[in-house]
Amino acid sequence: MTAVDEEDTGQAITAVGSSPIEARITTAFPELTGQERRAATTILEHLDDLATYSSADLSELSGVSRPTLSRLYRRLGYGSFGELRNEARHAGGVPIGPSQGVEAHLAQETRNISHLGRLADGRLEAAVLSIMGAGDLVVIGYRNSYPVAMHLREQLAQLRPRTRLLPLPGQTVAEDMVGVGPGDTVVLVGLRRRTSGFDALLNLCVESRADIILIADNSALRYADRVTHLLPCSLDASGPFSSYAAAMSLVAMIANEASSIAGAQGERRVGLITEGYRQLDEIEHP
């Protein structure tokens, strides 16, 4: 299952907007060797705390030799790992240092959200058609991806039946993935930093032969050719902590597109849910 070919993958993710390090990696990615790609992916996955690592640490994390890492730094335009690490520090790679202020924050948020407009090229519509046409819809997210996945599930459950969120509190995923297969859709929310089992989880989803939609930032570049649809969003921030405004905005875009596709059937379902709210007195009255 492929969303785009390798060359287009780099272009698609680069177009979303990125930090200077991300931009350099995604631009160079098609020309990197296998080992260099492995190291570059590790850098993307650890942007949040890259400034705390040494080159030796990065070699151990990626399983790539230090000479290979040195070649990668040069190909990315850095004279050394120190230069790359300093840029990560200034770009907000670790939670240290002051915020750049409200205006800088709002400007960055505006850039992140505006980049979502590029999904109007048909990618968003294709993914939502898969969501609304699925027999079973499974939405999965761990750690910081979980709130985004939960919100997406809550919106979509108002428009279609058989919509599940995984993992359930205190539970694992394997038992709930049994029976998921062709005709179903799995939405994986894979925002950095993903759990160590993400690759195995993706393999399980691929083996199910369900459609796979991946919502992710640039650090998920290496997964793009294994999913059916890739919906990228930026986590860039003016300060040290990542921003999830664009991810939540993407959820709203998906839900609104799904509502348009659901039409009268979706309206009837929303009406039934609203009546349930009334009967159970679950929602605050205006």
Per-residue confidence at 145, pLDDT binned at 50, 70, 90? very high
User: Which residue is listed with tokens 């992916």?
Assistant: 41
Element containing residue 177 per DSSP (H, E):
helix 174-177
Does 263 or 16 have the greater pLDDT score?
Answer: 263
Please give the Cα distance from 69 to 87 (Å, whole number): 17
Q: Is the pLDDT of residue 284 over 50?
A: yes
Q: Is the pLDDT of residue 15 over 50?
A: no
User: Which residue is listed with tokens 């300093």?
Assistant: 86
Please give the Cα distance from 238 to 257 (Å, whole number): 30
pLDDT in tens, 26-59: 888 889 999 999 899 888 877 767 777 888 989 9
Q: Are 243 and 236 in contact (CB under 8 A)?
A: yes
What mean pLDDT do residues 117-131 have?
95
Q: Is the pLDDT of residue 77 over 90?
A: yes
Residue 6 has a pLDDT of 36
pLDDT in tens, 60-76: 988 999 999 999 999 99
Q: Are 180 and 206 in contact (CB under 8 A)?
A: no
Q: DSSP label at 157?
A: H
pTM over 0.75: no
Rounded to 5 degrees, φ, ψ at 140 are -125, 135
Q: Is the pLDDT of residue 1 over 50?
A: no
Q: Is the pLDDT of residue 186 over 70?
A: yes
Per cent of the chain over pLDDT 90 is 53
Does 108 or 132 have the greater pLDDT score?
Answer: 132
User: SS3 for 165?
Assistant: strand
Per-residue confidence at 8, pLDDT binned at 50, 70, 90? very low
What mean pLDDT do residues 216-234 have?
88
Output the average pLDDT for the chain.
Answer: 86
Residue 99 has a pLDDT of 58
Does 214 or 98 have the greater pLDDT score?
Answer: 214
